[in-house]
Structure formats: C-alpha cells, structure tokens
Structure 1
Amino acid sequence: MIDDLDLVNADDLINLYGSTSPLEEIRLRSINLNWRGPAITLRVDVSSFPAEPPRDWESAELDTVQCHLKFLAVEDFSLSRWDPPAPPTSLVVKPLRKDRRVQVQLTGTGVDIRFTSHESVHIGHVSAFKIAPDGTDGGPHLFLRNLDRRRYKTIPGTEEKTFYERI
C-alpha cells in the first residue's frame, strides 16, 4: 500500500486530489538511476485527473497528471521487463521489518521492476498534459510549481540532470 511510504512534498497531490491515492495505480514513463544516492526517480502518470483541476489545466483541456517519485537508499534493484509505454500498473509497497525500509514492486504488462528503499519518497515536478492517441506524453506540459513552469514547457531529455535528479 502507498500508505506504507513516508511521502515528502505530497502537498501538491493532496491539494489536487484530497489524498495520495492516485499513486496506487500508475503508468511508468521513465526510470532514472542515480549512483550518488543510490536513488531511483520514476516519472509516472497518476491514475486519474483531478475533479477540480487548476483553471489553466482545465482551459487547456489537459487530461493526465504526471509527477516524479524519488526513492532513496535503493538496494536490490531488478529490472526484468521494460516495454514502454507500459499500460497502467499497480505500485505495490510492502514494509520491511528493519531500518524504515520498504520493498517496492511495479509489475504488469510491459513492466517488472523491484527494489528496496528507504520509506521516505519525494514527490515533485507535478504537471498535466493531454495524452496523445498513441499513449505518449511528448506534447506540452503545464507544471504546477512556478519554477518548473518557467523552466520547462515539455518534458526535457534525460540529459537534463536538474529535472531528473532534483526534486
């Protein structure tokens, strides 16, 4: 359950949805492995669009919310299947009995990722976009935070370390 995570910076999702429950089912968009952490940042689409989105999201006719989930102190990483764009899958989190750690699993059609991490997970780079007919997210994004909004109009390439490694 997502409730087993200590979510840091979850205010944006809570303000949009009233809770963090849309994270229970996600569509995985990208995986960024950072050796300095060791950390993993997952760029994901959440399961639903908010009932009352920000006005500019509504007027732009956007339909999908995306964010980053940054897991810290990652160990036992296993990626046995990755066939993007993968359909929505469940984010399964199980607490471990030591050192505030959790086991994380994303398994489903096109994806099988497993690892352990610290229970604290940082949420950031919340944006909305209109999903393309082929399921891609390459079009314009409207970011929730002002700094992201000024810096990015679309999702930057993976070489943009400040986007993928800092939340």
Structure 2
Amino acid sequence: MQKRTIIVDGFSKTYAMTGWRLGYGIMPEALARSVELLITHSVGCTAHFTQVAGVEALRGPQTEVEALVETFRRRRDRVVSRLNEIPGLHCREPQGAFYAFPNVRELGIPSDALAERLLMETGVALLPGTAFGANGEGYLRLSYANSMENLERALARIDDFVRGL
C-alpha cells in the first residue's frame, strides 16, 4: 500500500497557519524526485521561519489540534442540524474543511440571487454554489469557522428569511 499512497497536506487549517503557504507531501521516493523538479520551478520559496514553525507544529504536542478538531466537529454538527430544520434546505454532513454546502433548490431562487438577498436583507454572507462552477447551482456555502454564538445568530436569520419567503 505504501508504494501506491500519496499524501499532500498543508498547515493552514490544522495548525491555524493560514497565509503561511506551507505544505508537504509524502510519497514514494521516485515520485518525490519528479515532484521536487516540478515545484522547484512553480512554487516560490517558503520562508525559513515558516519551515521551522511547520516542523515544530508536527513534532510538538497535538492536544491543541485535537481540541480544535472537536470544536469544529461541534460546530459542524450544530450547523448541519440547524440547516436541516429550515424548510426547503437539505444539508449533508461535510467530511472535511469547515464548510456546509446546503441544497437550497426547493426555494426556487437562483443561488447567486439567494446569497445576495441573504447578505442584503439579513447581513449573513454566504457564497453561491455557482462560485465553484455551474454544477453548484442550487447550493450555498456556509463557513462555520466562527464562534458558536455568531453561527447561531446567522442560522436564526437564515431561518427567519426562508420562512418569510
């Protein structure tokens, strides 16, 4: 299995190192040489302090990472549950990152128009699914990288808006 496995990851979400542009790959050595040649000419050099911080993040205790994962799990569960309580919205449990992608087709409003109205009429900023391609029509993207208090407030506003349609 090891010969057929490639892992590519970054530090942005796991270690809250957003913007540091640090990542890594684990792969068979023969492939690593080819990847090294490719990225040497396509990716700028990462600052030394960023590389050192990445090594320390990987080698250090992971208790903060585990706590962060649990926090996001609670947020995810609440957001998905609450979205599914809103008539006309259907949301599957996301398997990665911190975004919910509810299906809003039953509302009969194009995603971009719905996102615009939610922003202007409720102050809740969501991305239309079409921001990710034509197949995203009928979906919105909601980030749950926020406090539970703000998420509850946003979800209540979305609920009130939808029930008022």
Task: Return the TM-score normalized by structure 1.
Answer: 0.21
Write 1 or 2 for the structure with the bigger share of helix.
Answer: 2
Higher relative contact order (CA 8 A, sep 6+): 1
Structure showing greater radius of gyration is 2
